[in-house]
A and B are shown apart, each in its own frame.
Chain A
Amino acid sequence: MRAAFFGEVHGNSIALESAMRDAQRRGAEAIYCLGDVVGFGPHPDRSVELLRESGVATVQGEHDYAVGNEKPVAGTCYTNPGEERLARLDHDYTLEKISPGHRAWLAALPRRISFEHQGVRYLLVHGSPRRQDEQLWESSTPEDLLELLARDADADVLVCAHTGLHWQTALPSGRVVVNAGALGRPANDGTRRVWYAFLDTEAEEPFSFVPLEYDCERLAAQMRAEKLPSEFAEAILTGFWTTGLDVLPVKERLRGRH
């Protein structure tokens, strides 16, 4: 089986469209989205439409929940007053722009998707199996905790997103945890590429990460036209995160510029 896993779309419909084409070219029989379809990006309806029209199975992220239910965004990615202000501006924009039908779709998204293939149980969540907004970073999530999370959720393979940085680990038990990364913004590595996870069950290393070039200039232009915070477009164009840095574990933080 071949399948693609998209994390953190965040309104980047341009990258989403490119990624869907890319995954199909690689022979993906299924595409899954790990949530946070909206938030940060311009024209939130466009990403929702792409997913709905293609029937992409999607789990709910905390932004999807908040927009779907017209509530404030939970979680702690933005931990200082300046960033909270940006996040509020952005959330208000998304609430204003999303169409009622898509809002209802976001509200109704499941918190988890599970399936079995060749006796392997896969579980897809946004943050973690126990918290929609739990951040599973590579350098700050103990292996023993991952074992507990996967075991308690009856998963052999746990696929998550939420943090924006992709990584995977094979646990001593044989279970696998994959963070699919983000289509919505680059990986804080100074390049404009975004990433998604690809599964090929016949390959020696079943999960790999796919870097994706897309028309980020067009995205940045849309962000500017929609008067979204300039910090967001800067991250898209420079490849280095400009916001949400406080929650990065120090190892990941030191790899970025800011």
Chain B
Amino acid sequence: MRRQLPHDRALGSLRPGPHLPVLGPEMAILRSPSRVPARTGPVPEGLVQLRMPEVRFRFLDALWIQVTGTRCNIACRHCFSSCGPKADQIPMMSAGQVDEALEEGRSLGMRQVYFTGGEPFLHPDLPRMVRAALRLAPLTIVTNGLLIDDRAVEMILEESRRTRYSLDLRVSLDGTTAEENDRVRGRGTFEKVSETLRRLGRAGLSPLVAVVEHEGIVRAEARERFLQFLRDLGIARPRVQFQSLFRMGREMRRTHGYHDLGVLASAPLLSEVESRLPCATGRAVTSQGVYTCPMLVEHQSARLGDALAKSLHPIRMNWDTCQTCMLDGLHGSN
């Protein structure tokens, strides 16, 4: 039997009530966790009769650019998009493709650019792409931190000095001990990331440390522990952000996928929740096109075409992964 996670408790309040539309026999089976095969991806048509909530597109607050595709120097066991050293299902973007995405984002009023992968620091043209982004907007590089050496720190400092915009790093760390972190991120990563964080602290920088709530980590309890850990590494103004575990990609094989497909259809989509959904306020661009969000870049069903301008339309929450964002939207806090 799986351990109950904090989100599961919140999910309990959303379970289908008597107001739920009448379901077919297939749906009844799907709602019984003991008989559900772990699955992820779009809800198959025909099998489920529920109509998932529609999310209006609001503003382009976040433009996610998957600069290195799925190519990563490590293969985290809980990765939601199966990235790794040999993962080439989504190829790297060229600097020209990144320029095009930035230009399109600029014309559409983007607020914040994110470079993701994979691991962005694997990209040979990263410094050039960083400079291009910072000419237009604030930039966050989402990274595992393992490749941030002294030269990379120098590049970050130099590019920060050159621009009025914030250049931020979002460094993944999933534990305050090797045992806790390396369980999901791989042996030896804890020591290496700690060294990177020390290096950034020495340079006067303060990365946003992103923590995935894998087993044992509950944001309300872990926050102060992580902040103290970062202070001890020499980061004067520690910053931490907790993120939900998406039960897809490699994580689905490590634990399980999603079970209860009725959750989304049964809950009314409150306006304050809707406004917090990534698909209401952002889009992801990869070398293969534009997608609803960075979580679904491996799903062809979430591809919205080639042009960002034509992708800013309502999205129906058709993927079981959407449950996690819905619950995050309900919680609201980090």
Contact of B138 with A80 in the complex, beta carbons under 8 Å: no
Q: A74-B272, A81-B220 are in contact. Are A144 and B136 (CB under 8 A)?
A: yes
Interface residues of A (CB under 8 A from B): 74, 76, 78-82, 84, 130-131, 138-145, 148-149, 245-246, 249-254, 256-258
Q: How far is the CB of B328 from chain A (nearest CB, A)?
A: 12
**With the chains together, A246 CA to B239 CA distance in Å?**
7
Complex alpha-carbon distance, A249 and B205, angstroms: 12
Q: Decide: B204 and A80 in contact? CB cutoff 8 A.
A: no
CB interface residues, B 278-334, toward A, < 8 Å: 332-334
B59 contacts A by Cβ under 8 Å: yes
**Is there contact, CB below 8 Å, between B237 and A79?**
no
Q: Are the CB atoms of A253 and B206 closer together than 8 Å?
A: yes
Could you list 13 A-B pairs, sorted by A, with CB under 8 Å? A80-B334, A82-B223, A138-B164, A140-B111, A141-B111, A142-B165, A145-B110, A149-B109, A245-B237, A250-B166, A251-B160, A254-B204, A257-B237
CB of B201, distance to nearest CB on chain A (Å): 12
Contact between chains at B109 and A84 (CB < 8 Å) = no
The majority secondary structure among interface residues of chain B is loop
Given contacts A253-B206, A253-B237, A256-B237, contact A140 B112 (CB under 8 A): yes
Interface residues of B in 51-110 (CB under 8 A from A): 59, 106-107, 109-110
Residues of B within 8 Å of A130, CB to CB, are 59
Q: Are B237 and A142 in contact (CB under 8 A)?
A: no
User: Do residues B167 and A250 form an inter-chain contact, with CB atoms below 8 A?
Assistant: yes
A145 to B137, CA, bound (A): 9
Min CB gap A231→B, angstroms? 15
- B223 nearest CB neighbor, chain A only: A80
Q: Which residue of B lies closest to A74 (CB)?
A: B272
Complex Cα distance A249/B168, Å?
8
In chain B, residues 206-244, which have Cβ atoms closer than 8 Å to a Cβ of chain A? 206, 208, 219-220, 223, 237, 239, 241
Among B107, B109, B167, B220, which residue has the most Cβ atoms of chain A within 10 A? B109
Distance, CA A131 to CA B239, complexed state (A): 26
Residues of B within 8 A of A256 (CB): 237
